Structure 1
Amino acid sequence: MAARELVVLGTASQAPTRTRNHNGYFLRWDAEGLLFDPGEGTQRQMLRAGVPSSAITRLCLSHFHGDHVLGVPGVVQRLSLDKVPHPVVAHYPASGQVFFDRLRHASVFHEVAEIQERPLTADGPIAEGSFGTLEVRRLDHLIESFGYRLVEPDGRRMLPDELARAGIAGPDVGRLQREGELSVGGRTVRLEEVSVPRRGQRFAFVMDTRLCDGVHALADGADLLVIESTFLDEDADLAHRYGHLTAAQAGAVAESAGVRCLVLTHFSQRYVEPERFRDEAAAAFGGDVVVAADLDRIAVPSRR
């Protein structure tokens, strides 16, 4: 099981199909488990994908349209049914507080799990920890919507040959990483002499939106970009009218932002040929393109 991977739970948009459940995306990021936009049926999709409720540490909602949130009641109640011992932090637009209250208490159940509500009110960082920084940006949809971005701090990659040449091994490697320098055999060895910069990994999640500054800010340098591509370019006018992107627009964003792997999702039920989404995005983007399918598992690309 990969330490950092995306588990796709659903890929439909407004209406599910025989092969596509409503939205749902689980990001496993070391000890963190972020569940994004659980639409109707997410609890069952988690079972099919082998994602236990205990793996969830954060519930992240982009906006309050039903295909992105109608699975919240089942997920919240499952946390209590399974007696998940750790708190689960819930992020969602503050303007939809009344809807979150209704979803969280949609029916009678014995609530024992701890849900810590953290409503979103502005762009910027919303959580920091050993996993890095989780931040949000406003998007341009028919109602208030936010996209999410997870950024691991930059670090350094140790060079085994240089470490051996400097006579550093075992626990001393960790000391050097923590302290920045180490005295070895009468000389001072600096961390920069035995390592090279290592860029932290970046993940971005962009759901219902027109093109806007927030889309580009979220996608910037992402190793893995999960982005809606509800429409094909032939229906670009519809996409703009209803606050969505086309596959071609998603590909252009990924190319300009330097994305490594582009994951397309949130497909309108009007289309029956998923390869058309790949073709449109690939015409603008030279990196890896994944047309997401339910229950796909997509690894976060390894560090450069």
Structure 2
Amino acid sequence: MTNRELVVLGTASQVPTRHRNHNGYLLRWDGEGLLFDPGEGTQRQMLLAGVSATDLTRICVTHFHGDHSLGLAGVIQRINLDRVPHPVQCFYPLSGQEYFDRLRHSTAFHETAELRPQPIRATGPIPVPGAPFVMDAVALSHPVDSFGYRLVEPGGRRMLPEKLAEFGLSGRIVGQLQRQAGVELDGRTITLDEVSEIYRGQRFAFVMDTRMCEGVERLAEGADLLVIEATFLSTEAHLAEEHGHLTAAQAARVAAAAGVRTLVLTHFSQRYPDTSGHLAEARAHFDGEIVVAEDLMRVPVPPRVR
């Protein structure tokens, strides 16, 4: 059985509020735990959400603004304190190497775990050895170098039990059919296509601080679950453009054009104590499922469509 869900650790933007911590998002994907943008306070939010350091297999930082990275120091030290037994990859923009190094060694601690830094130089695939998915990093448009992340599960073929039963197929002959793409039974040839179907792997996209650009569209394309910033409403579109952010309407239009199934809006400016306007604005442009993220919320990755 798969366990694929987003655990929301924080949903604020530059300034946290009484109800919204700085950014932090954990994607559980079977045995993987990908931590995106650990802002200040992430370690405590992990505790409240029931997430342990040993759950983490990879850390993905979009850019080095404080609300997306100041929690990195504490998370790294917790990984070492808890003696996480497996290597933990850490992705981040190469141009922020100095900031990564400072955060990693911000105070004294005893290193017991293996952290594998993987600085990102440009748009393209990133190495995720042993993972049941492939990942890309895609450059975005922000005042500092920023990358979004896209995770894609390879597609495959699933056998259809009702079709196997219809043709009287079971046991070893099913394995033979899968290997040979066809078998002879009772004088007729049964093909693999008659008793199975090809499925598309699930897709997840993570888009933080950026104004509209080609990279946003590339990341969102066909995503089952899109986590995307919606810092402003359209009434402040000029501020969004000036500071390199999106409005809820822009995020929703991207989702609609990209065929997204579940849209998760987050990274809200402190000027909006009530986010009902974000939902209304997004709903005007997107007919799929919309989640206005709250701290400690859990959002399942939508099941595959048959």
TM-score range, shorter chain: over 0.9
Question: Secondary structure of 2:215's partner?
Answer: helix
Shift in CA distance, 67/142, structure 1 to aligned 2, threshold 3 Å:
same
Shift in CA distance, 19/172, structure 1 to aligned 2, threshold 3 Å:
farther
Question: Secondary structure of 1:103's partner?
Answer: helix
How many angstroms apart in 2 are the aligned matches of 1:290 and 1:149? 19
Identity of aligned residues (%): 62
How many angstroms apart in 2 are the aligned matches of 1:159 and 1:260? 24
Equivalent residues in 2 for 1:63-212 (5 A)?
A: 63-128=63-128, 129-170=130-171, 173=174, 176-177=177-178, 179-181=179-181, 183=183, 185=185, 189-212=190-213
Q: Which moved more, 1:125-134 or 1:27-36?
A: 125-134
Shift in CA distance, 65/175, structure 1 to aligned 2, threshold 3 Å:
farther
How many angstroms apart in 1 are the aligned matches of 2:88 and 2:231? 30
Question: Secondary structure of 2:148's partner?
Answer: strand
Counterpart in the other structure of 1:287: 288
Question: Secondary structure of 1:215's partner?
Answer: helix
Q: Does 1:26 align with 2:30?
A: no
Q: Does 1:265 align with 2:266?
A: yes
Conserved? CA contact 1:168–1:184, under 8 Å: no
How many angstroms apart in 1 are the aligned matches of 2:127 and 2:134? 6
Question: Secondary structure of 2:250's partner?
Answer: helix
Shift in CA distance, 195/277, structure 1 to aligned 2, threshold 3 Å:
same
Q: Which amino acid is the alignment partner of residue 252 of structure 1?
A: R
Q: Does 1:301 align with 2:302?
A: yes
Counterpart in the other structure of 1:14: 14
Counterpart in the other structure of 1:47: 47
Structure 2 segments unaligned to the other structure (5+ residues): none
- How does the TM-score come out when normalised to structure 2? 0.95
How many angstroms apart in 2 are the aligned matches of 1:212 and 1:189? 49
Conserved? CA contact 1:2–1:299, under 8 Å: no
Shift in CA distance, 288/97, structure 1 to aligned 2, threshold 3 Å:
same
Conserved? CA contact 1:87–1:114, under 8 Å: yes
The offset of 1:176, in angstroms, is 4.4
Q: Which amino acid is the alignment partner of residue 295 of structure 1?
A: L
How many angstroms apart in 2 are the aligned matches of 1:6 and 1:12? 16
Counterpart in the other structure of 2:275: 274
How many angstroms apart in 2 are the aligned matches of 1:173 and 1:120? 44
Q: Show structure 1 runs of 4+ deviating over 3 A.
A: 170-177, 182-190
How many angstroms apart in 1 are the aligned matches of 2:262 and 2:113? 35
Structure 1 segments unaligned to the other structure (5+ residues): none
Conserved? CA contact 1:221–1:257, under 8 Å: yes
Question: Secondary structure of 1:254's partner?
Answer: helix
The offset of 1:167, in angstroms, is 3.3
Q: Which amino acid is the alignment partner of residue 251 of structure 2?
A: A
How many angstroms apart in 2 are the aligned matches of 1:52 and 1:167? 47
Q: Which amino acid is the alignment partner of residue 6 of structure 1?
A: L
Counterpart in the other structure of 2:238: 237
The offset of 1:184, in angstroms, is 5.5
Equivalent residues in 2 for 1:242-261 (5 A)?
A: 242-261=243-262
How many angstroms apart in 1 are the aligned matches of 2:84 and 2:174? 37
Conserved? CA contact 2:12–2:267, under 8 Å: yes
- How does the TM-score come out when normalised to structure 1? 0.95
Question: Secondary structure of 2:34's partner?
Answer: strand
How many angstroms apart in 2 are the aligned matches of 1:243 and 1:231? 11
Q: How much is the aligned-residue C-alpha RMSD, in angstroms?
A: 1.7
